[in-house]
Amino acid sequence: MEYNSLLLEGFLASIHLLVAFLGTILLTSWWIKVARRNKLGGKDMNKYNKPFVPEAGGVAVIATVVIALLLYMFFKTFILSSQANLLEISTLIITLLLACFIGFIDDILGWKKGLKQWQKFVMTLPIAIPLAVINAGNSLIDIPILGMVDLGVFFPLILVPIGVWGATNGYNILAGYNGLEAGLGAIIIGTLSAIALITGKLWLALIGGIVVVSLISFYLFNKYPSRVFPGDSLTYSLGALIASFAILGDMEKIALFLFIPFIIEGLLKLRSRLKAENFGIPNKDGSLEPPYDKNYSLTHVSLRLLKKIKPSGKVYEKDVTYLLLIFQILLSIVTIIFLI
């Protein structure tokens, strides 16, 4: 009986993953046409001729993920006859929709009206509300020297909002290269999902699998040369989702370690008072040059490093993306080997 139940759950899980993959392909293809028709997009700044590329492709990813999660809740309720973790899944859906909606507003107004950075920071504050109001996570924290400390209501009302807000905005600052945002998200969430699976949080692992499959599907459109940009509708959502996984899966320290590239990025950005751009200066042959005399982003560091390593001295956009993705993969390997 238990064996049959496992087979059923495995079969249902494969359906969710298939929906995530095919749904993202269909919705992204549709969104590219809609965005191009309505001129919702921007210039690809790392290309010499600055081609127009549809923006806010994250809408298609988040819509697909939400559909797959609702399908998961339906199967869980009516086929598996289980109510386990439905509150947490519902909260994740609301968090994703909030993050995507706020990011989409930024995608529309940010480039037209020129929203200031502090305005964007304030806009993202409500994203933490769903997790805070259900008292998500475990308030018992292992603090160095002090040991295990119960933070009580301080955890959901203060730390959770700070964590979600920080991850949402932090994830948004390392961007601007074809395939980078979707690739980093797939690696980080894939790592958190693997850890959730290892630690027995199967429901969270499946949700992570749905997101990763959707991101891989979107990457096919977003990789170099990109046919659609993810926009803040995806970067805000991925940042919020990483924080949600950390809180719901008691993986705060692990998520913080995986977030090292974004922490470094934030520190580098502060050198320019958050004014520097990540883009390189494109040449006619498609290669890139560092845009500033100093490094204000990991993309600038990558450009200079690759120019020294590559025999030709020519660095292309996809080279920078691949180097940063490799860096993230190495962090994930270290995490799984040493931090679980």
Give me the tens of pLDDT residue by residue for the chain, a chain 340 residues long: 455 666 777 888 899 999 999 999 999 999 999 999 999 999 999 999 999 999 999 999 999 999 999 999 999 999 888 898 999 999 999 999 999 999 999 888 765 455 666 777 788 899 999 999 999 888 887 777 777 788 888 898 999 999 999 999 999 999 999 999 999 999 999 999 999 999 999 999 999 999 999 999 999 999 999 999 999 999 999 999 999 999 999 999 999 999 999 999 999 999 998 889 999 999 999 999 999 999 999 999 999 999 999 999 999 999 999 999 999 999 999 999 987 7
Run of H or E including 295: none
**Using H for helix, E for strand and C for coil, what is the string for 203-271?**
HHHHHHHHHHHHHHHHHHHHCCCCCCCCCHHHHHHHHHHHHHHHHHCCCHHHHHHHCHHHHHHHHHHHH
Domain residue ranges in the chain? 2-250
Selection from 66, 134, 138 nearest residue 98 by Cα:
66
